[in-house]
Chains A and B, each alone.
Chain A
Amino acid sequence: MRGWRSMIAGVILRAKTMDSVPELFRKWILISGAALLLCRAGIAQVASQAPASGTSSGAKRGISLASKGRCSQAVPSLKKAVAQITDKKLKYDVLMSIAHCAMGLEQTETAVRTLLELNRSFPQDPEVLYLTTHYYSDLALRASHELAATAPSSPQAQQLEAEAFESQGDWGKAITQYRMILDQNPQRHGIHYRLGRLFLTKTPADLENAKKELGEELKIDPTSAASEFLLGEIARQSGQWDDAIGHFDKAAKLDEGFSEAYLALGMSMNSAGKFTDAVAPLESYVKMQPDDPAGHYQLATAYERTGRKQDAQRQVVLQQESATKAPRTPAQP
């Protein structure tokens, strides 16, 4: 599984949809609020979908109880029955009934375990993914309420609040909140980084303040690969290749598993005409992310421009294969 840092970096590298972000946040919040309603509606839905025939009468009884709202009785029998069920459809219905009931009964552990099992047994099932999305976001909401109730003045609570402002596009309040954290603890890791990121997210981006904050983060935490990466990306998008190369090189050295840093380093080297230098980081990247057409394309470019025509052609084939397989997303510049 790709690391969280790589996921962020991937988004940054391919960034272009900033204006849609606040709307997505709003949608997310709406989803969270709908979660509790969902678990109640879901039970009835599963019951209505319950099969007429099955291999386990216990399971069917459990589903029937759940459909009548008798979840306290239903869950134990369903949990007992599920291990013996071989029929896939019945198993699906039993697990969905358990999940919906557990959510309604606020049996968090059971609900989460059942959702994990549903995701394992029925990957990519839209209903499972839908239910999972709602429940996880509801859990997150509950945890944030608990944090706010129990430790309202903690840096974590302040940070969460700042992020909430950020997600709503209220940059001013978010900045104020982050500054409050730094006033209390100027050495706290990650806050200057977040401020830097926030300045980049604004429209138009505030590059100078972003660079300043990211620089401050590196003073506090010289091992912040993410800060180096963002500084590199600012330089790359401005065509300042040497500066970009320096930052991406540091990011890759600080975190050897940071695959996107290798890609960005190779891209910047290609853009700077340093094709020979680009080969090594791009070869590293395609080993780490063999399904990403970006790596193959950039490596093909580096090979081509250093006279390795056959290697370049091979990479073009891989680039085309991976581009074809890749899910259709808005293309990148």
Chain B
Amino acid sequence: MRLVLRLPLHYIARNLWVRRLTTVLTAGGMALVVFVFAAVLMLDAGLKATLVATGSDSNVLFIRKGAETEIQSGVARDQAALIESLPQVARGADGAALASREVVVLNSLPKAGTGKRTNVPIRGVTARGLQLRPQVRLLSGRFFRPGANEIIVGAQVARQFAGVEIGQALSFAQRSWTIVGVFDAGRTAFDSELWGDAEQLMQAFRRTSPSSVIARLTAPDSFDVLTAAVAAEPRLQVEVKREKKFYEDQSRALSNFISVLGITLSVIFSLGAIIGAAITMYAAVATRTAEIGTLRALGFQRRAVLIAFLLESLLLAFAGGIAGLFAASFLQAITISTTNFQSFSELAFSFALTPHIVLNSLVFALVMGLIGGVLPALKASRMKIVDSLRAA
């Protein structure tokens, strides 16, 4: 059975144009729903993009077994040494392990504008740690000197918080730490952190052991071997994860929250838009009753009428979808900064529009148009010719 569109497309399109106000209002309602839908998807994509980009496939993270975040974790020095001796850990040119013992603690800073204090992670890194993260580069100022009470701030911290300019000092752990630079970590979670010298920070916070160990794998696929080796070693009470997966897991709660909330809202809103489409299409059918009768009398099949009205509804929805997407695309300029439930610290991320989201949003719009338009279209196609002509 071929689905042939007998009635010309310009008949359908022109009907929408003639009743412009109605078309604009109906499509506008749909555009709003698509906007919300796309915005949620974009927010989640942005969150994932930030976190996923935060890790590298070749890096792995060791934290204490049972700890979910680096902040909860502590890896004793002897264990750290054991980790560095594992054969799956790559070695640098100098023969030393490409591993970085890092300490992560939280500090609270006032947000620019509101002045409300929220938690910001402070990461003590080593020279090795900088090597393991090639995506990090200096935006302004300089790197901290090893052994000095200096810190550099991530690009998002510089943007979202007050009192973090180069030259200003932060006071914590009974020391004063001078801010000497701003770094860009390619829109990843690191952008929301403060970095300093690991040894200095550990001393200041009176910690004898680091929070975690970051290491480079000899080869990306030696991960499974590494996991097996760690499990087999009874002295090691650590868990190992790929850096990418670690950060992804960290955001799972937040991501789920956003997705569930957003999709629920979109579905509820879509009901409103579907009702709007149904009202419009029913009215269109009622107004063009005589027309429909005439077309049928001329010889067009019921199916042609059905398809014509369905297409009108779909065209309406499509226009709304495009408009909604267009508006949503502007969201990409906005950055959201909020507390990640799991890590208890601030995370900044943005809206990301992907081709996948564009497709999903348009499909969503078309589905709305289909559901809203199907009953009126059926009504139009089922009308008896004589009844519709008499109504003229």
Question: Are both chains from one complex?
Answer: no
Residues of B within 8 A of A (CB): none
Chain A interface (Cβ < 8 Å from any Cβ of B): none
